[in-house]
Amino acid sequence: MNIISKRILTAAGVAALLAFCGSCAKDVSVNTINTSKDYFDAWISINHPGVKPSGLGVYIIEDEPGTGAAITDDDIVVFAEYTITDLDGSVSSTTKESLAKQVGSFSEANYYGTDILINDRSYTETGVLEMIKGMKVGGKRTAVIPSWLYTIADYDTEAKYLKDNKGSNAICTVNIKGKTNDIEKWEIDTLRRYVALNLGGIDSTKFGYYCKTLVEPVDTAVFPRDTSFYINYTGRLLNGKVFDTTIEDTAKVYGIYSESKTYAPMYVSLSEDVSEITIAASSTETGSTTIDGFSFCLSTMHPMEKVVCAFYSTLGYGITGSGLAVPKFAPLVFEIEAVESPEEE
């Protein structure tokens, strides 16, 4: 069932009901009933009467059991698709491209598809972790999560969450696609399959890192560590989605073009310490360090060479990902080409 089309009482309707109840109850103060919990409890009693809370206080309103392995406390990562709405049914977040297009929030720059839920209250909302307890791979569940549990915190009672209420009420639908208690092994195995299919099965030159020459260099010697040069690059996820590029035409083709960005070769300053390699818009600007996999690739390049490197997320954006474009624990692929120095203004 599409939870968006479900008939619900609106926020305004609940507020009106609370006001009406307040006028009829002689011994109950308005300040007492007009709280986050009173509002939420009234909404639940009207829209989902008879549904009892589970765990710390989430309300499971739809449940399609899965047939795969059950989620346990040992599983560090849960792979899932999800949609989150407010109590009025307005979508605030979704991993589904088709739904994002339907509600007008779609962006080519964003990642859509199976995402990662980290099975830890330090990274994932308590209410979301509560609602997926007992689920199996292949299962789908919809739950109403009160604002005090739709937050990242680690308390042992509902009362402590309520006291520190900082979230928003949410209706969350989660479809479990998989799980793992060893995310590094999952990434390395995924990367190896990608390399076998797309990079000719080349060997790894560093744990979790692969590099292949696409265009031969004009010199067999790598750039000296105290030199500088210019590059163009394009970054992709393993599914081929482009999330960053210095090439304007590439940005337009993949729908990530931004008028506020200047598309031009970047200036690379090498260093004896790979972690201190920087890139900048020009030789006159202060450079910034990059993710480790990208810097390692730059450190081994030759003049006028074009390479493709692929690496696991420990050398990339790791547990955080990068904005809405790169998900958590995402292996990355970069095509990098050493180019002629552009004319400086």
pLDDT digits (tens, 9 = 90+) for 229-239: 999 999 999 99
Establish whether domains 51-181 and 184-339 are of one fold. yes
Asked if residue 13 has pLDDT above 70, the reply is no
- How much of the chain exceeds pLDDT 90, in percent? 84
Segments making up each domain of the chain, as ranges: 51-181, 184-339
Asked if residue 217 has pLDDT above 70, the reply is yes
Look at residue 165 in the predicted model and tell me its pLDDT. 92
Q: Which CATH number fits domain 51-181: 3.40.309.10, 3.30.70.600, 3.40.50.720, 3.10.50.40?
A: 3.10.50.40
User: Which range has the worst mean pLDDT, 3-7, 121-125, 243-247, 304-308?
Assistant: 3-7
Contact 6, 88 (CB under 8 A): no
Contact 240, 258 (CB under 8 A): no
Write the class of the CATH domain 184-339.
alpha beta
**What is the phi-psi region of residue 50: left when phi exceeds 0, alpha when psi lies from -120 to 50, beta otherwise?**
left
Contact 317, 101 (CB under 8 A): no
- Give the residue-averaged pLDDT of 264-273: 96
- CB-CB neighbours of 152 under 10 Å: 15
- Residue 215: how many CA atoms within 13 Å on its side-chain side? 10
Look at residue 342 in the predicted model and tell me its pLDDT. 86
- CB-CB neighbours of 225 under 10 Å: 12
Per-residue pLDDT tens digits for 141-195 = 999 999 999 999 999 999 999 999 988 999 999 999 999 999 999 999 999 999 9
Asked if residue 9 has pLDDT above 50, the reply is no
Asked if residue 221 has pLDDT above 80, the reply is yes
Residues 6+ apart with CB under 8 A from 24: none
Query: Which position has the token pair 């990079």?
Result: 199
Helices within the chain (DSSP H only): 11-24, 30-33, 36-47, 97-103, 126-132, 158-163, 183-198, 248-253, 292-299
> Is the pTM value of this prediction over 0.75?
yes
